[in-house]
Amino acid sequence: MKMTKALKATLLGVSLATIAATGVSAKTLVYCSEGSPEGFDTALYTAGTTFDASSKPLYNRLVEFKRGTTEVLPGLAESWEVSEDGLEYTFNLRKGVKFHTTSFFTPSRDFNADDVVFSFERQLKKDHAWNQYTAGAAWEYFDGMSMPDLIKEIVKVDDYQVKFVLNRPEAPMLANLAMDFASVLSAEYADKLEADGKMEMLNQEPVGTGPFSFVGYQKDAVIRYNAFADYWGGKQPIDNLIFAITPDAAVRLQKLKAGECHVMPYPAPADIADIQADDSLTMMEQQGLNVGYLAYNTKVAPFDNKNVRKALNHAINKQAILDAVFQGSGQAAKNPIPPTMWSYNDAIEDDAYDPELAKKMLADAGVSDLSMKIWAMPVQRPYNPNARRMAEVMQADFAKVGVDVEIVSYEWGEYLSRSKAEDRDGAVLLGWTGDNGDPDNFLAVLLGCDGVGGSNRAQWCNDEFQALIEKAKTVSDKAERTKLYEEAQVVFKEEAPWGTIAHSVVFMPMSSKVTGYVMDPLGGHWFDGVDIAE
Amino acid sequence: MINAGAFVYSTGGHPAVSRQDPLVRHIRTHDMFRFLFSRLGLLIPTFFGVTLVAFSFIRLLPGDPLDLLAGERGIDPERKAQLMAQMGFDRPLWEQYLDYLLNIFQGDLGTSFASKKPVLDEFLTLFPATAELALCAIIIAVCLGIPAGIFAAVKRGSVADQAIMGTALVGYSMPIFWWGLLLIILFSGILQWTPVSGRISLMFFFPQVTGFMLIDSLLSGEKGAFLSAVRHLILPSVVLATIPLAVIARQTRSAMLEVLGEDYVRTARAKGLPPFRVIGFHALRNALIPVITTIGLQVGVLLAGAILTETIFSWPGIGKWLVDSISRRDYFVVQGGLLLIAGIIMLVNLIVDLLYGLINPRIRHN
């Protein structure tokens, strides 16, 4: 305890000196973030708020998403080769990449293959000294992306070459390696912490190669970073980056208006028009890489009949939902992947809103006096800002075709858990925000046979669809993959395991003085390349 | 400290006995200790009750930390079972509870599932912020509530009395979240008199010594830091003080009205004492007895109010920490945090009880 306090005092003192050294004219960008990071070792967590404060400013990955897109670019790896059988990925690492020098660590060497091997093996190997360095370390994203099954071994070929050997070909592998959990940490820093008996500090005082270095975190209040002068991508236009943690959206807006911060995420839908009308503010917007859906339980009658599902889809008035729930900031969904994602099949025709047709289709299927449950999530999500309201609109829509709906809801953890049951009673409102921009991340996770009883809430396992997505996963040619995913979307539409509802628009208000900010389709908040006009 | 002699007179107790009498002093000390031990004795079962409630409360809530961590993706049941076992959550509840109790006696409240830090460390980091806010709020509530209550009692039935009591009723019924936001929009947004949120301007950056920003800003020696801390404290303190202020004002008024009708006040008046002496000395000292109890009870109200106030004003205290932990099902934080807060409330109530016993002889004799 004493040690921590002394360390904090030193750390803050040094940081003060650093800020003082940069002079009073130092450019400081303040970001009013929506919540506190759980820690700074990104791979331990799954929350976007934690990623924004850790992996994005502090670390790099072997490959990176091109800002504003999901295109994969070189990062800490300058180039890579994939073996013909798709089982070996060899990365040629960038030379001369420095780790941050901070008050708590001074690196003696540049980034090399040891850091890559360390960053992945600690998540992969259960007997690794760093696998359980902190209580309850779950490596949830690494496991969730099936990395333990996928990666056979990680081999250091030499100081600047690393080889990932896989158990099976996996086309989205590169995109997976650009995700937050794949951030590269310093093995030298880890060794030092281990030797000092302070392993838990890896999660509290981070050292990376990213554009900003960590200065200090006052829990639930402020996180401070300095621009890293030796960053391999060049020094940032701003000198300091501050996250002012401000949980309430209305208060964030007041701070932005009062000039107490420059950028804020997640404005309240009701404030959007007000922000757009304010000349001192800029409102950026982007189609979110997400989908909100109603998943029928395809294993329970009468929803095991695709004509019943199709009929109900014809009964949903999506425009009414967009108006009532998304307040105009959404787009009707016809496919299970968003239109900004490659392989989106725009040729598919949506099930038009047609209550009369729906009634007829239900009658043809021999269904009358149908009563069903619609599950409404208790939380707000980008793909569904108000599930209860959405369920109420659907309840009214379904009543028009003679279907009686009971709306049910559970506490969020319970909702997630119960909705997985294969014998679940009712259709579930849920959604998904993409992790890596690969269609497999939507189609396999949400609709693949492996997800039945889990993330596949429709409990839908279709042989034709499954064959298409499995093949697409093993093919490296993007054009061929595109074709396969387009076909899979045709099968999906025909079988209708979901009512596809909407893709939302994400808004990002900021001071008009902020330049160079690029919105991330994956929902992250990045500040490299951002400047403040004088 | 209130002079015990005043109560010999006020309660009509033992006017013939001198307060200097050693026998009387001995009896009083003996009474006080007996009173102290009886109150301390009550703390033990209360403590066990609190541990049981804190432990079972979070476990009775549906959902668990792993489901919430995995989100929409979900978690493989086998892997979930493995992780639950790893964290010891698969053992019988009574065994987990006993472990929890044993660890408490060793000063270990467990480790946060989210931050991976010891719960006690987190509490100690955040508690000064809540304590500073609560202290300022209670000072505002007492300094304004008691005079307002006295004034309303003295001017009973007047327009001023009705205005004060009407305002107190409004304050008591005020939805904190709405009230906080309203003040921010008015004073920070439109008038720009106070900052919107936070504890100090971001340009100040100095080591935390006590965790109390007012003190740390003074210790830092940085020009303007203290003033910045004060400006940041104004709105959240006012918001948090609103309900206790209303309660204290109403309580003071009714206690004063009761006391003002007593014989000894009439006697004091008949003796020709000036009104300020009758009210401020004879009446107020007795009227304060129930008010002190009320102030003690406000500690729980302040901590409950702190949850909302901290969220609105981005105040890094224990209220928001606990709420976040409940929504994450961070078992150890919730059970540890609740225990520590209950401990503080019990301690404050004990002090109030003792103070009450000290100033009101009837209580300790009983």
| Chain-chain contact of B68 with A4 (C-beta, under 8 angstroms) | no
Is-cis flag, bond preceding B22, omega within 30?
no
- What is the three-class DSSP state of B210? coil
Express each pLDDT in B311-362 by its tens digit. 899 999 998 899 889 888 899 999 999 999 988 888 888 888 777 777 776 6
Report the gap between the CA of A221 and the closest CA in chain B (Å): 5
- Nearest CB among A12, A219, A413 relative to B62 is that of A413
CA A252 to chain CA centroid, nearest Å: 22
Q: Could you state, in chain order, the average pLDDT of each consecutive group of 10 residues for chain A (534 residues)?
A: 42 40 69 94 92 97 93 96 94 97 96 98 95 85 89 96 96 94 97 96 96 95 96 96 94 94 91 92 92 96 96 96 88 94 95 96 94 93 91 97 95 87 95 92 93 92 96 91 97 97 94 96 94 90
Question: What's the rounded mean pLDDT across residues B96-118?
Answer: 90
Q: List b or e across A230-245, with b for residues whose CB sees 16 or more CB atoms inside 10 angstroms.
A: ebbeeebbbbbbbbbb
Q: Residue B366 and residue B11: Cα distance in Å, rounded? A: 15
Between B29 and A288, the more confident residue is A288
Tally the residues of chain A: 534
Taking a C-beta distance cutoff of 8 angstroms, is the pair B134, B306 a contact? yes
Q: How far is CA A504 from CA A293, A344, A385, A516, in A?
A: 12, 16, 9, 23
Residues B248-272 as b/e (b if ≥16 CB within 10 A, e otherwise) read bbbbbbbbbbebbeeebbeebbeee
CB-nearest to B116 from A4, A200, A221 is A200
pTM of the model: 0.87
- Among candidates A38, A221, A414 on the partner chain, residue whose Cβ is nearest the Cβ of B198: A221
In eight-state DSSP terms, residue B118 is B
Give the pLDDT confidence score for residue B13 in this predicted structure. Answer: 37
Q: Under an 8 A CB cutoff, do A135 and B208 touch?
A: no
Q: What's the pLDDT score for residue A402? A: 95
Q: Residue A417's pLDDT is what?
A: 85
Contact between A220 and B62 using a beta-carbon 8 Å cutoff: no
By Cβ distance, the residue of B122, B205, B316 closest to A19 is B205
Q: Is B198–A13 a contact, with Cβ atoms under 8 angstroms apart? A: no
A chain contacts of residue B59, beta-carbon cutoff 8 Å:
none
pLDDT at position A485 is 97
Tell me if A219 and B71 make a contact (CB, 8 A cut-off). no
pLDDT the model gives residue A360: 96
The least confident of A355-364, B18-27, B158-167, B279-288 is: B18-27
Of A140, A247, A258, the CB nearest to B196: A258
Helix (H), strand (E), coil (C) string for B86-113: HCCCCCCHHHHHHHHHHHHHCCCCCECC
The pLDDT, as a whole number, for residue B1 is 34
- Are A123 and A33 spatial neighbours (Cβ–Cβ below 8 Å)? no
Which chain A positions have a beta carbon within 8 Å of B206's beta carbon?
12, 16
Q: Cα distance from A41 to chain B (closest Cα, Å)?
A: 10
Closest Cβ opposite residue A247 in set B75, B76, B311: B311
- Would you list the DSSP string of A357-425? HHHHHHHHTT--S-EEEEE--SS-BTTBS-HHHHHHHHHHHHHHTT-EEEEE---HHHHHHHTT-TT--
Contacts of B67 in chain A (CB under 8 A): 413-414, 416-417
- With cut-offs at 50, 70 and 90, classify the pLDDT of residue B18: very low
Q: Closest chain B residue to A132 measured between Cα atoms?
A: B86
Contacts of A495 (CB under 8 A, 6+ apart): A306, A309, A460, A462, A465
Q: Nearest Cβ partner of B196 from A28, A251, A412?
A: A251
Q: How far is B81 from chain A (nearest CA, A)?
A: 12
- In sequence order, the 6+-apart residues with CB closer than 8 A to the CB of A109 are A188
Residues of B in contact with A412 (CB under 8 A): 63, 68, 327
Strand partners, A226: A213, A240
Q: By percentage, how much of chain B surpasses pLDDT 70?
A: 90
* Of B72, B197, B329, Cβ closest to residue A255: B197
- The pLDDT, as a whole number, for residue B12 is 37
* Gyration radius (Cα) of chain B, Å: 25
Chain B CB within 8 Å of residue A431 CB: yes
Q: Dihedral sign for Cα A199, A204, A210, A213, please.
A: negative
> CB–CB of B70 and A136 under 8 A?
no
Q: Tens digits of per-residue pLDDT, B165-196? A: 999 999 888 888 899 999 999 999 999 999 99
pLDDT value of residue B33: 77
A222 lies within 8 A of chain B by CB: yes
Integer Cα distance of B251 and B294 in angstroms: 8
**CA separation for the pair A318, A289 (Å, rounded):** 19
Please tell me the distance in Å from A437's CA to the nearest CA on chain B. 16
Report the distance separating Cα A495 and Cα B189, nearest Å. 53
pLDDT of residue B280: 80
Rounded CA gap, A507 and A276, in Å? 10
Residues A455 and A257: their CA atoms lie apart, in Å, by 41
In eight-state DSSP terms, residue B281 is I
Region for residue A154 given its phi and psi (left: phi exceeds 0; alpha: psi -120 to 50; beta: otherwise): beta
For residue B121, which residues of chain A lie inside 8 Å, CB to CB?
A: 1, 4
Structure tokens at A513: 């003085």
Nearest Cβ partner for B61 among A36, A216, A411: A411
Which of A409, A53, A425, A440 has the alpha carbon at shortest distance from A223? A53
**Burial class of residue A140 (count of CB atoms within 10 Å of its CB; 0-12, 13-18, 19+):** buried
- pLDDT value of position A371: 96
Torsion region of A327: left, alpha or beta (phi above 0 gives left; psi -120 to 50 gives alpha):
left
The predicted structure's pLDDT at residue A6 = 43
A-chain CB neighbours of B321 within 8 Å are 220
- Can you tell me the distance from the alpha carbon of A31 to that of A43, in angstroms, rounded to the nearest whole number? 23
State phi, psi for A117 to the nearest 5 degrees. Answer: -60, -45
Q: What is B124-146 written as a DSSP string?
A: HHHHHHHHHHHHHHHHHHHHHHH
Q: Measure in Å the smallest separation between the Cα of B216 and chain A Cα atoms.
A: 12
A198 Cβ neighbours under 8 A, 6+ residues apart = none
Looking only at the bridges linking them, the beta strands covering A240-244 and A222-227 are: antiparallel
Q: Do B69 and A138 touch (CB under 8 A)?
A: yes
What is the edge-to-edge ordering of all strands in the sheet holding A88-93? A77-82, A88-93, A161-166, A151-158
State residue B6's pLDDT score. 36
B279's tokens: 């009210």
Length of chain B counted residue by residue: 366
CA dist B308 and B313 (Å) reads 9
Identify which of B115, B73, B74 has the alpha carbon closest to the alpha carbon of residue A436: B73
Q: Using alpha carbons, select from A416, A408, A420 the residue that is nearest to residue A459.
A: A420
Tokens of B59: 């476990």
Exposed, middle or buried, B236 (CB in 10 Å: 0-12/13-18/19+)?
buried
pLDDT at B276: 82
Nearest to B207 among A8, A35, A248 (CB): A8
Spatial contact of A513 and A17, defined as CB atoms under 8 Å apart: no
Q: What is the pLDDT of residue A14?
A: 40
Q: Do B312 and A251 touch (CB under 8 A)?
A: yes
Contact A203 B313 (CB under 8 A): no
Relative orientation angle of helices B119-154 and B225-260, to the nearest 10 degrees = 50
Contacts of A12 in chain B (CB under 8 A): 205-207
Is residue A309 within 8 A of residue A497, CB to CB? The reply is yes
A131-135, B229-233, B237-241: range with lowest mean pLDDT: A131-135
pLDDT category of residue B11 using cuts at 50, 70 and 90: very low
Angle between helices B331-359 and B119-154 (to 10 degrees): 40
Give the model confidence (pLDDT) of A378-400 as tens digits. Answer: 988 889 989 999 999 999 999 99
Would the CB atoms of B115 and A38 count as touching at under 8 Å?
A: yes
Spatial distance between the Cα atoms of A23 and A240, rounded to a whole number of angstroms: 11
A-B contacts (CB, under 8 Å): 156
ipTM of the complex: 0.83
- State the smallest CA–CA distance between residue A454 and chain B in angstroms: 6
Q: How far apart are CA A243 and CA A222, in angstroms?
A: 6
Question: Which of A274-288, A305-319, B105-119, B275-289 has the least mean pLDDT?
Answer: B275-289
A126 reaches B (C-beta below 8 A): no
- Judging contacts by C-beta atoms under 8 Å, the chain A residues touching residue B185 are 254
Q: Confidence band (pLDDT; 50, 70, 90) for B22?
A: low
A441 touches chain B (CB under 8 A): no
SS3 state of residue A93: strand
- Substitution target in B196, B220, B223, B239 with the highest count of A β-carbons within 10 Å is B196
Measured between CB atoms, does A448 come within 8 Å of chain B? no
Alpha-carbon torsion angle B340, B345, B346, B352, nearest 10 = 150
C-beta atoms surrounding B361 within 10 Å = 18
Q: Which residues of B touch A38 (CB under 8 A)?
A: 114-115
Among B59, B64, B72, B123, most A C-beta atoms within 10 A, so best to mutate, is: B72
Task: Give me the pLDDT at residue B3, please.
Answer: 38
**Phi/psi of residue B16, nearest 5 degrees:** -80, -15
How far lies A228's CA from each of A190, A213, A237, A357, in Å?
20, 6, 11, 62
Which among A15, A242, A416 has CB closest to B67?
Answer: A416
Contact indicator for A460, A447 with CB cutoff of 8 Å: yes
Higher per-residue pLDDT: B31 or B256: B256
Would the CB atoms of A220 and B321 count as touching at under 8 Å?
Answer: yes
Which of A140, A218, A257 lies nearest to residue B316, judging by beta carbons? A218
Percent of chain B clearing pLDDT 90 (strictly above)? 44
Q: Beta strand A222-227 with A498-511: parallel, antiparallel or unpaired?
A: unpaired
- 8 Å CB contact between A31 and A525: yes
Which tokens sit at B46? 């209360």
The neighbouring-strand residues paired with A283 are A509
Residue B171 tokens, joined: 């304050």
Give me the amino acid identity at B24: V
For residue A219, the one-letter residue type is: K
What's the mean per-residue pLDDT of chain B?
A: 85
Of all residues in chain A, the one with the smallest CA distance to B198 is A221
What are the tokens at B10? Answer: 């006020």
- B203-223 pLDDT, tens digit per residue, is 898 888 999 999 999 999 999
Residue A425: which of A316, A296, A313 has the closest Cα? Answer: A296
- Does B62 contact A411 at a Cβ distance shorter than 8 Å? yes
Distance CA B158, CA B155 (A): 6
Segment B1-7 shows an average pLDDT of 36
The answer to whether residue B19 scores a pLDDT higher than 70 is no
